[in-house]
Amino acid sequence: MRLRLFSPEEPGRGAAYGDISAQWLMNGPARAMSIIADDSGHLVSALRCYPETLVTRERFGAYVGATLRAALAERPQMCIERTAVIDIDRGRHGFVLTDSRGHRFRARTVVLALGNAIPADDFLPHELRESRRYFGDPWRTRIDELPAGDMLCIGSGLTAMDRVAAFRHTMQGGTAYTLARHGYLPAREAPEIRACRYSELGIDEDTPLSLFRTVRTAMSRRTAAGGDWREVAEALRNPSQRIWLGWTTAQRRRFLERLAALWGSLRYRVPPATDDAVIALRRAGRYVPLQGEIVAASESEHGIAIDYRRRGERHQITVASVVNCTGPNGDLHTNPNPLIRALLRRGLIRRDPLALGLDATSYGEAIDAEGLVDERLIAVGPMLRGILFESTAVPEIVEQARAIAIRIAREREGRVA
Ligand SMILES: Cc1cc2nc3c(=O)[nH]c(=O)nc-3n(C[C@H](O)[C@H](O)[C@H](O)COP(=O)(O)OP(=O)(O)OC[C@H]3O[C@@H](n4cnc5c(N)ncnc54)[C@H](O)[C@@H]3O)c2cc1C
């Protein structure tokens, strides 16, 4: 069996772990971020760090690359092609892949591990998207690329917090703003906190609302008993995919509309060092969180004026730069990746009903345009958010990858036998 890995970027240097993320930290402790499924201490021993350390994302990317290179060195049947796949079609004996050089490859099974697409911007005014002051890729824009002066981040999640914290290094001063519809800011991470026992929490999983009510009660109880509400948030991580799978599409939609922003602020927490930097800037009057929705934008000689609406009232701020920090775009129909466009065109994949990613079985097998499951076209990671919801962080991805590897190996054993 041969395994061919395609990646135009250096492996380990996807959107989250590129070279601009040198000072940005992982949002989970090293003890939970091993990429070897059977060895949870692998990252801690590879980097010789403490289990509770939040390593920089740059260092984590280097660890992923080094681990992969070590695995390849021992296995001549595995190799990396440093190109993008731009098309996949079904052939007589499996799939035919075409890469950006025009080379073709055959494969019996294809795993789509395409990661996070840059944030959607089709909801933003045209004048903003066309402006040279607008930066659509928050993960590959260096702080020194931004024009000097005030900065607005659209969104107030972890990416926005990273950008605000990095703003303290700008020499020219200025104020950082975040603007979000909901106005929640991510809670502070406490790396030493561990999950409590889920079964003792009395969580009612039936509907998004019953879940929300019982989680809130469990968090209050935990805090009142001298514990930490984060223990409850952590305990929800394991059962979350099962809970999501048990809800109807209408219930999932209700969760997204009413509760996802609040849940996100409790679940995806900001590293203490980043939080400290944000707090310091806020105290100094250099960080201002705003709530509202952008309705118009216009360029002026002083910058770009952004009009936003909050509770029926219109406000305006003028800034030197605007960074889109609204989170990965899950909607396949607006995803610019040529491979996704080709797969959609050929009808090999389709969008999930909530447009969070790709439609698939809970195992990741793609469902095609006709509704048929293709067990040889398997997705892993963020593309499965519509199906599993919790499908973006390292521990969940490692589990999915392990399940796929075991299945492919068993199938092969069966064929050989
Ligand atoms: C800014 C940011 C910070 C994050 N921080 C954390 C964190 O602290 N902890 C955590 O657990 N998770 C974090 N995440 C979640 C993240 O989803 C995972 O940690 C992980 O990076 C996802 O891995 P992946 O391999 O699916 O995607 P990626 O690491 O993005 O890799 C996808 C790869 O696919 C390649 N590719 C895309 N299209 C093609 C094509 N057509 N042909 C060939 N190759 C292609 C890309 O070049 C890229 O190398 C973060 C995500 C982001 C965006």
What rounded mean pLDDT belongs to the chain? 94
Last residue of a domain, one of 225, 243, 267: 267
Residue 39: CA count within 13 A, CB half-sphere: 8
Residue 349 inside a domain? The answer is: yes
Ligand 1 center to residue 304 CA distance, Å?
Answer: 31
Distance 116 CA to ligand 1 centre (A): 5
Closest Cα to atom 50, ligand 1: which residue? 16
Do 348 and 362 fall into the same domain?
Answer: yes
Q: Which residues line ligand 1 (CB under 6 A)?
A: 6-9, 14-16, 26-28, 84-85, 113-116, 139, 159, 328, 337, 339, 381-382, 392-394, 397
Q: Are residues 27 and 92 in the same domain?
A: yes
- Pocket-testing residue among 9, 53, 114, 397, ligand 1, by greatest number of atoms within 8 A of Cβ: 114
Residue 67: inside a domain, yes or no? yes
Dump pLDDT digits (tens) for 231-252. 999 999 999 999 999 999 999 9
CA–CA separation, 390 and 381 (whole Å): 9
C-alpha 115 – ligand 1 centre gap (Å): 4
Same-domain check for residues 136 and 273: yes
How sure is the predictor about 167, in pLDDT bands with cuts at 50, 70 and 90?
confident
Q: Look at ligand 1, atom 23, and give the residue with the nearest C-alpha.
A: 115
Does any domain span residue 309?
yes
- Of the pLDDT bands very low, low, confident and very high (cuts 50, 70, 90), residue 415 is confident
From 324, 339, 368, give the residue that closes a domain: 324
Residues 67 and 162 in one domain: no
Least-confidence region, from 333-342, 390-399, 407-416: 407-416
Q: Which atom of ligand 1 is nearest to the CA of 10?
A: 49
Residue 26's CATH number: 3.50.50.60
Choose which residue among 392, 396, 398, 399 to substitute to test ligand 1 binding: the one with the highest number of ligand atoms within 8 A of its C-beta: 392
In the structure, what pLDDT confidence band is assigned to residue 1 with cuts at 50, 70 and 90?
Answer: confident
CA distance 290 to 354: 28
Q: Indicate whether 168 and 181 sit together in one domain.
A: yes
Gap from CA of 98 to ligand 1 centroid (Å) = 22
What was the pLDDT predicted at 411?
85
Crossing angle, helix 272-283 and helix 158-167, to 10 degrees?
60
Into how many domains does the chain fold?
3
Q: Whose CA is nearest to atom 37 of ligand 1?
A: 114
Tokens of 100: 């950006």
Query: Which pLDDT does position 417 carry in this prediction?
Result: 63
Torsion of CA 331, 334, 340, 343, to 10 degrees: 90
Query: In this predicted model, what pLDDT tens digit does every residue of 299-326 receive, in sequence order?
Result: 988 899 999 999 999 999 999 999 999 9
CA-proximal residue: ligand 1, atom 2 (nearest):
16
Q: Looking at ligand 1, which atom is closest to the CA of residue 383? A: 26
Residue where one domain finishes, among candidates 281, 307, 324: 324
Distance (Å, whole) CA 143 – CA 358: 33
Length of the chain: 417
User: Per the domain annotation, does 210 fall within a domain?
Assistant: yes
**C-alpha dihedral over 269, 271, 272, 273, to 10 degrees?**
-150
- Judgement on whether residues 154 and 285 belong to the same structural domain of the protein: yes
Q: Are residues 174 and 279 in the same domain?
A: yes
pLDDT in tens, 84-138: 999 999 988 899 999 999 999 999 999 999 999 999 999 999 999 999 999 999 9
Do residues 204 and 248 both lie within one domain?
A: yes
Instruction: Identify whether residues 336 and 397 lie together within a single domain.
Output: yes
- Asked if the structure places residue 193 within a domain, the reply is no
Same domain, 318 and 227: no
Report CA(220)–ligand 1 centroid distance (Å). 34
Domain residue limits at 294: 126-187+269-324
CA distances from 10 to 53, 59, 64, 83, 140 (A): 25, 14, 10, 10, 14
